[in-house]
Amino acid sequence: MNKILVVAAHPDDDILGCGGMLSKYSKTKEFRVIYLAEGSSCRFSSLDESEELRRTIKQRNDFAIEALSTLGVSDYKFYGLPCGRLDTLPIIEINKIIENEINQYKPDTVLTHSEFDANNDHRIVNRSVIMATRPGTYKMLKKVAVFETQSSSEWNFTNVFLPNNFIALTEEDIEKKWKALSYFKTEVRQYPHPRSYEGLITLAKYRGMQVGTHFAESYQIIWSIE
């Protein structure tokens, strides 16, 4: 992996899913993060434009920019599709966004959500990425993988996330990941919620323990050409 496109449903999903990777490799690899949906309007009764809704969306976008800056990432885009309502859009519209990004950015790796996440937007983004990254479509694309998103992946109790690839992290990577997540003041919670400091540390230790290291992030490779 040298040039990586992260396709996230909402601002903060990228930090939860691959914040450790961003911290570890931001100085040696290229990253672009795209956010397909805005992540906030689902908490409003309607999509009618209001000053409060615009302010809430902008605030979350600002959190994302600060979080990525903490991890050393400066390449990002916000597409602002309606949060929690991606199933109301023709999936080809989402596909076209992803295809255009791949054509412009020319990544060798694409990362996105697991198909088994409890969040429906995550599932739709996964399906769209899989459709947009069919093997052989782009010569430069060599790998597609998915990450786990705390407070979504582990809440599907019938089809669980099964990683087959792990990235060892240092304690500094974990602390930077938490610092980045902490910018999302409306999203972090107190333990025992998964989006807490203890929740983040516990998962990193568990994934690390699985492969004999102190901390790790886990991924599932969907397809790869070596």
Q: Where are the domains of the chain?
A: 3-167+217-224
pLDDT beyond 90 at 48: no
pLDDT beyond 90 at 184: yes
C-alpha triplet 104, 106, 107: angle, nearest 5° = 135
Confidence at residue 43, expressed as pLDDT on a 0 to 100 scale? 76
Span 200-223, average pLDDT: 98
pLDDT beyond 90 at 51: no
State the helix-helix crossing angle for 171-182 and 51-70, rounded to 10 degrees. Answer: 160
Higher pLDDT, 47 or 32: 32
Higher pLDDT, 41 or 178: 178
Confidence at residue 185, expressed as pLDDT on a 0 to 100 scale? 93
In the block, residue with structure tokens 């519209």: 93
Residues 6+ apart with CB under 8 A from 180: 15, 19, 22, 23, 66, 67, 68, 70, 71
pLDDT tens digits, one per residue of 52-86: 888 999 999 999 999 999 999 999 999 999 999 99
pLDDT tens digits, one per residue of 155-165: 999 999 999 99
pLDDT tens digits, one per residue of 111-133: 999 999 999 999 999 999 999 99
Q: What is the topology classification, in CATH, of domain 3-167+217-224?
A: Rossmann fold (3.40.50)
What is the percentage of the chain residues whose pLDDT exceeds 70? 98
